[in-house]
Amino acid sequence: MQSYRAPHWLPGGNLQTIWPALWARRVDGAPPVYRRERWTTPDGDFVDVDRIDAADPAAPLLVLFHGLEGSSRSHYAEAFAAFAAARGWAFAVPHFRGCSGEINLAPRAYHSGDFEEIGWMLERCAAGRPPGAALLAAGVSLGGNALLRWAEEAGTTATRTVRAVAAVSAPVDLAAGGAAIGRGFNRLVYTRMFLSTMKPKALAKLAQHPGLFDRDALLAAGDLHAFDNVFTAPLHGFRDTDDYWGRGSAKPHLQAVRVPTLVVNALNDPFVPADSLPRPSEVGPHVTLWQPAHGGHVGFPLGLPPGHVRGMPERVGGWLAQHLPR
């Protein structure tokens, strides 16, 4: 993606974000068919994992962590699934709590810095695999930041679980991203879209656990900062939104990564400001930065109208494949 160029018919970060998610082709042929597993979490909750098995049990497994309010049916997930199938790899999308179509049970949800949950999911994915079978991981947007936080916290132990990781359009500076998505067009379109599903889920959580948070304050929340202040931060052990965004951001800790890591961000991403992205001097030797001028947020469309989104999984997946055993 470092050499990515957007098609001339789709100019600007917003079009390169919205069009791929809604209208671009994801796969050639039928959409992927998943096999769903339900895992019980250490705290007695559950997560749903959608999987595609490989013909060879020892084939590499690609684990994808989705973005905010995403799922295995997000455009990028289906494109990654097609990439993995074409390579003969197994593929898995562990859903963050509440994102698989059924509300989870515990008085918590998920968040951008949820590295402990990422670690548990990766260990569960690795369990039972044949000796030497490789595991690769990619994360998109929120899932990318959480995956990076895991790699940072795991340090030298990360290579016991994965061969390499990649983060696509991750908001590695959560405060900068939160401010950007809360302004102007972004607030009218993206913030409204996210809150339209996040608020009902939060209210369902309140019905499960009366008194968990202030209902009126949640209903009044007009941006992600206010929503996180009422819901996300206190439910996950943070003092407030600023504490959550500060401690959850991957950017300050990229020097600590000890596993091959790719970080992909378009410079015209509508809600990941270019000036918030890491510079080469701010990352360790195990981190590769791809920062193309165009691509939007998890867009990177290619081809003639309606275009397709296969290019990003192919290039990111190809980079991950370079780290498989020869």
Q: Which residues are catalytic?
A: 141, 269, 297
The 3-state DSSP class for residue 315 equals helix
| DSSP H or E segment with residue 22 | helix 13-22
d(C-alpha 122, C-alpha 299), whole Å: 26
Q: Which residues of 168-183 are buried (b: 16+ CB within 10 A; e: fewer)?
A: bbbbbbbbbbbbbbbe
Query: How does DSSP classify residue 251?
Result: G
| Cis peptide bond prior to 306, omega within 30° of 0 | yes
Nearest alpha-carbon partner for 246 in 324, 162, 173, 318: 173
In Å, the largest CA–CA distance within the chain is 57
Helices (H) and strands (E) in the chain, counts: 12, 8
150 close to 156: Cβ distance less than 8 angstroms: no
User: Residue 86 phi/psi, 5° resolution?
Assistant: -65, -30
Residue 94: both structure tokens together: 């562990």
